[in-house]
Amino acid sequence: MSRIARRWYFNARPKATIEGDTLVLREEPLPALREGDILVRTLYLSLDATNRVWISDWDIYMEPVHVGEPMRGFVVGEVVQSRNPAFAPGTLVAGLHTWSDYFVTDAQGFQSFARVAGLPLADTFGILTVAGPTAHYGLLSVGQPKPGDTVVVTAAAGAVGSLVGQLAKLKGCRAVGIAGSREKCRWLTDELGFDAAVNYRAEPVLECLRRCCPNGIDVHFENVGGEALDAGLTLMNNFGRVVVCGLISTYNSTGTAAPGPYMFRNVIMRRLTVRGFVILDHLDEYPRMTAELAQWMLEGKLRYRLHIVDGLENAAEALNLLYTGGNEGKLMVRIGAER
Amino acid sequence: MSRIARRWYFNARPKATIEGDTLVLREEPLPALREGDILVRTLYLSLDATNRVWISDWDIYMEPVHVGEPMRGFVVGEVVQSRNPAFAPGTLVAGLHTWSDYFVTDAQGFQSFARVAGLPLADTFGILTVAGPTAHYGLLSVGQPKPGDTVVVTAAAGAVGSLVGQLAKLKGCRAVGIAGSREKCRWLTDELGFDAAVNYRAEPVLECLRRCCPNGIDVHFENVGGEALDAGLTLMNNFGRVVVCGLISTYNSTGTAAPGPYMFRNVIMRRLTVRGFVILDHLDEYPRMTAELAQWMLEGKLRYRLHIVDGLENAAEALNLLYTGGNEGKLMVRIGAER
């Protein structure tokens, strides 16, 4: 008798925010394992802003999720049955798969998940799978900050942004965050060591940012797009770097409606380098980056919050938190209990 | 008795295009030469798109020309009187100075102008002072094209654009130009060796560009901004380079009115590097670049047109040709006769 699994499907393309019928949860029997397959019990699902991009009607950086297909996400789980000699039952594995409580895979693209001694599984998975490497590669490899530089980051209280500011501090920079509430701004400055933070919902962004960056901006790390990007471009120093990691403010739109930054001309006027990246292109750098990040986490030099939502059935609603700024820290769904 | 010179002044900031009272021509007595000064008789004035930027209300890449000051431009002239041992009378000098027929300068920033054997002075000055080095540095150093790459350039029949396409061909690339008339497009393909050209005034740019770039775009060299930039961003290949040399379509605007490219999100989706540059930052590379360019000019591998307007009094009106696309080739003003 086959086991019944629950799995989210991409049901109907959203016009803007994810609606009730965008993603639907279905029950389905799991297939029998073929030679090379593993059966995985999911423990955690990572929710990332880019999930929304995968179900957009845009021409994106990888194969999108098509209507009718299972929804995709980064997961960690435990092998419960195996016909693959590389993955014994009990092994923890992580990779890009579907939003489901159990799944069968040929294990292509899956790797043994390395626990970090001293760190809970949720922390290791939550920070070292996407957010940490994204912050590390984006700030250090793309942004190339030098000691004394001013680094500005948007969505600064988000999973990536909060790490970017702390990495900037570790590299001897001035870190300025832009976030969406007074509480978030306080967390950045009082607990994470940011030098300043701007609450974009309450304050005139350009004016406040100018005050927070008396020496201009050398590295602008963009997660959002829109007004904050324009403010950053306005204040960039000559030969500055603009790291384009995300444009979450545009993800809930269709077609080409969103105009680019009005201060685009400063790409010339300030001789800027504007570079976009996708962390999946840099998997070869993961060992070095995750080792550094884990060390800083253990030493308390990188602090973070995990925002864990319980239950696969709550995944779709939870995803919307990313676009309203409702999450506090790295957003993930706990699907199965750790043993 | 002091000599009377004619000189253009920046009189009133234009709202959009340069108007009748934006620049005014005045007569004024020249000052007596002090120790170190030279008196120069101007032969040619280079008109460049960036001249309009210098009189905008923007925060630009160098000290702007303020209302009331003489208008600035690249000039070549002959020393007619000298109290500077480095510049004997008769010497040709070139540098950034004012739009005038005679001027006195302390020679700061001026250099002896090196004639190139086999090339007329107008060609050497017109191509090797701004347009050539801009095309060379922008395409080869910023754009980093590889053989087989597809290179797209806007304002392709302009002084810089026409050289960019030919340099792309010299480097083994496919060159595609976007220009504003059928005649210009024909010049690009039939005489300069571009592989294809799109007439943006007559054809749907994105559709035509897609047809001209069956393998996508690897390097997009932007001189204009607007629709063509969006078309380029839409068709960029992964890890492509966008060279931002000019945004001439926005120069006749004030404040921050012009929206940036609507396809800005492709900076992430295609992992693009978008880099702006100003050739004045790279004077140290001039000797190498101008030597290469001159050689290619002499060998007939780099072809060009000079659009020479006669008479200092016609300079202001001529400048507008750049923003309407009315010039055919490198625009310059002949102010004094060569002896």
Helix (H) or strand (E) holding A321: helix A321-324
What percentage of chain B reaches a pLDDT higher than 70? 99
A327: nearest Cα among A311, A313, A315, A312: A315
Instruction: Determine the 3-state secondary structure of A289 from DSSP.
Output: helix
Residues of A in contact with B272 (CB under 8 A): 274-276
**How far apart (Å, rounded) are the C-alpha atoms in residues B162 and B135?**
9
A106-136 residue pLDDT tens: 999 999 998 999 999 999 999 999 999 999 9
Which are the contacts of B46, defined by CB distance < 8 A and separation ≥ 6?
B73, B74, B75, B125, B126, B129, B130, B330, B331, B332
pLDDT band at B258 (very low <50, low <70, confident <90, very high): confident
Q: Say how many C-beta atoms besides its own lie within 10 A of residue B188's C-beta.
A: 27
Q: Tokens at residue B78, please? A: 């002959």
pLDDT band at B256 (very low <50, low <70, confident <90, very high): low
| Mean predicted confidence (pLDDT) in B212-219 | 98
Instruction: Tell whether B238 lies on the interface with A, counting CB pairs under 8 A.
Output: yes
B15: nearest Cα among B322, B251, B321: B251
Global pTM value = 0.96
**Interface contact flag, B259 A256, Cβ < 8 Å:** no
Q: State residue A256's pLDDT score.
A: 66
**How far apart (Å, rounded) are the C-alpha atoms in residues A120 and B155?**
57
Chain centroid, CA A70 distance in Å: 20
Question: Can you tell me the ipTM of this complex?
Answer: 0.95
B29-46 residue pLDDT tens: 999 999 999 999 999 999
**Interface contact flag, A61 B271, Cβ < 8 Å:** yes
Q: Where are the domains of chain B?
A: 4-113+305-334, 130-282
Interface test with A, best of B250, B254, B265, B270 (most A CBs within 10 A): B265
Residue of B nearest to A257 (CA): B262
CA distances from B66 to B12, B56, B143 (A): 9, 9, 33
**Interface contact flag, B244 A270, Cβ < 8 Å:** no
What is the dihedral sign for C-alpha B44, B49, B53, B55? positive
**Interface contact flag, B268 A259, Cβ < 8 Å:** no
**Interface contact flag, A271 B281, Cβ < 8 Å:** yes
CA distances from A205 to A14, A154, A190, A228 (A): 30, 11, 20, 7
**Interface contact flag, A258 B262, Cβ < 8 Å:** yes
**Interface contact flag, A265 B58, Cβ < 8 Å:** yes
**Interface contact flag, A264 B263, Cβ < 8 Å:** no
**How far apart (Å, rounded) are the C-alpha atoms in residues B324 and B339?**
34
Which one of 3.40.190.10, 3.10.20.30, 3.30.565.10, 3.90.180.10 gives the CATH number of domain A4-113+305-334? 3.90.180.10
Q: What is the mean pLDDT of chain A?
A: 96
Say if residue B208's pLDDT is above 90. Answer: yes
- Per-residue b or e along B35-57, where b marks 16 or more CB atoms closer than 10 Å to that residue's CB: eebbbbbbbbbbbbbbbbbbbbe
Alpha carbon of B54: minimum distance to chain A alpha carbons (Å): 11
Q: Tokens at residue B140, please? A: 């080869």
Q: State residue A231's pLDDT score.
A: 97
Each of the 339 residues of chain A gets a pLDDT tens digit; together they read: 578 999 999 999 998 889 999 999 999 999 999 999 999 999 999 999 999 999 999 999 999 999 999 999 999 999 999 999 999 999 999 999 999 999 999 999 999 998 999 999 999 999 999 999 999 999 999 999 999 999 999 999 999 999 999 999 999 999 999 999 999 999 999 999 999 999 999 999 999 999 999 999 999 999 999 999 999 999 999 999 999 999 999 888 777 668 899 999 999 999 999 999 999 999 999 999 999 999 999 999 999 999 999 999 999 999 999 999 999 999 999 999 988
Alpha carbon of A267: minimum distance to chain B alpha carbons (Å): 5
Residue B61 — φ and ψ, nearest 5°? -85, -5
**How far apart (Å, rounded) are the C-alpha atoms in residues B310 and A238?**
38
Residue of B nearest to A143 (CA): B273
A87: nearest Cα among A78, A95, A75, A96: A78
What percentage of chain B reaches a pLDDT higher than 90? 92
Residues of B in contact with A278 (CB under 8 A): 268, 271
Residue of B nearest to A59 (CA): B269
**Interface contact flag, A268 B261, Cβ < 8 Å:** no
Q: State residue A196's pLDDT score.
A: 98
**How far apart (Å, rounded) are the C-alpha atoms in residues B255 and B114?**
40
Task: Out of A247-256, B171-180, B290-299, pick the least confident.
Answer: A247-256
Instruction: Tell whether A333 lies on the interface with B, counting CB pairs under 8 A.
Output: no
- Nearest residue, CB atoms, B265 vs list A247, A273, A275: A247
**How far apart (Å, rounded) are the C-alpha atoms in residues B272 and B216?**
13
Q: State residue A16's pLDDT score.
A: 84
Alpha carbon of A124: minimum distance to chain B alpha carbons (Å): 26
pLDDT band at B15 (very low <50, low <70, confident <90, very high): confident
**Interface contact flag, B260 A259, Cβ < 8 Å:** yes
Instruction: Tell whether B115 lies on the interface with A, counting CB pairs under 8 A.
Output: no
Which residue reads 């489901």 in tokens?
A: A100
Instruction: Tell whether B316 lies on the interface with A, counting CB pairs under 8 A.
Output: no
B321-332 residue pLDDT tens: 999 999 989 999
Chain centroid, CA B11 distance in Å: 23
**How far apart (Å, rounded) are the C-alpha atoms in residues A217 and A213?**
6
Radius of gyration of chain A (CA): 20
Q: State residue A134's pLDDT score.
A: 98
Q: Say how many C-beta atoms besides its own lie within 10 A of residue B141's C-beta.
A: 14
A25-55 residue pLDDT tens: 999 999 999 999 999 999 999 999 999 999 9
Domains B4-113+305-334 and B130-282 share a fold: no
More confident residue, B249 or A212: A212
Say if residue B85's pLDDT is above 90. Answer: yes
- Nearest residue, CB atoms, A268 vs list B262, B264, B278: B278
Residue of B nearest to A231 (CA): B256
Q: DSSP string spanning A69-103?
A: SBPEEEEEEEEEEES-TTS-TT-EEEEEEESBSEE
Instruction: Tell whether A325 lies on the interface with B, counting CB pairs under 8 A.
Output: no
Residues of B in contact with A258 (CB under 8 A): 262, 264-265
Q: State residue A1's pLDDT score.
A: 52
| Mean predicted confidence (pLDDT) in B231-255 | 93
The strand pairing partners of A334, in sequence order, are: A44, A310
**Interface contact flag, A259 B256, Cβ < 8 Å:** no
Interface test with A, best of B217, B234, B241, B264 (most A CBs within 10 A): B264
Range A130-282 classified under CATH 1.10.3720.10: no
